[in-house]
Amino acid sequence: MKRISENVVSENSISLLGILKCVGLAYIITLIIFLALAIVLSYTEFPETMVPSAVLVGTLISIMFAGTSIARRVRTRGWLNGAVAGLTYMLILYLISSFTVTDFRVGQYVIIMFISGMLAGALGGIVGINLKKRQYL
């Protein structure tokens, strides 16, 4: 009889706590990326017009990490679990932004960010499932 790993919650889904752990780690990675970006901005002639693009890339890299790490905990549907992690990341970011930014509104940019977050999480989930499968080969 096979022994099921403690990290694997079920065949298709993962717990809310697992999602929140992976998203929390993604936020820590985001902070590290933003700290590195701030250092680059302070000590180099990095064009300030590129800052929004750099922030977007850093955020998407962090979401991909969340998708990858959550997909390594499940057996199937890594893309779906990764997309849920991306959606959770963006939802938390949206809630924080709505409380802290005075002129915050839902517009085209917010919708694009939600879709981008879900796609980045799904891509990370695909990578995570495939990395896990390669471990067993």
pLDDT range class, residue 132, cuts 50, 70, 90: low
Q: What's the CA dihedral at 84, 89, 90, 94 to 10 degrees? A: 130
pLDDT reported for residue 11: 54
29 or 108, which is more confident: 29
pLDDT of residue 6: 46
Q: In angstroms, how far is CA 26 from the centroid of its own chain?
A: 6
Averaged pLDDT, 102-114:
84
What pLDDT, on the 0 to 100 scale, is given for residue 105? 77
Ranges 11-25, 64-78, 88-102: which has the least confidence: 11-25
**Position 9 pLDDT exceeds 90:** no
Q: Which segment, 10-19, 28-37, 102-111, is predicted with the most confidence on average?
A: 28-37
pLDDT at 7 over 70: no
Query: In this model, does residue 72 exceed pLDDT 60?
Result: yes
Task: Give me the residue label for tokens 């997909």.
Answer: 71
- Distance (Å, rounded) from C-alpha 27 to C-alpha 63? 8
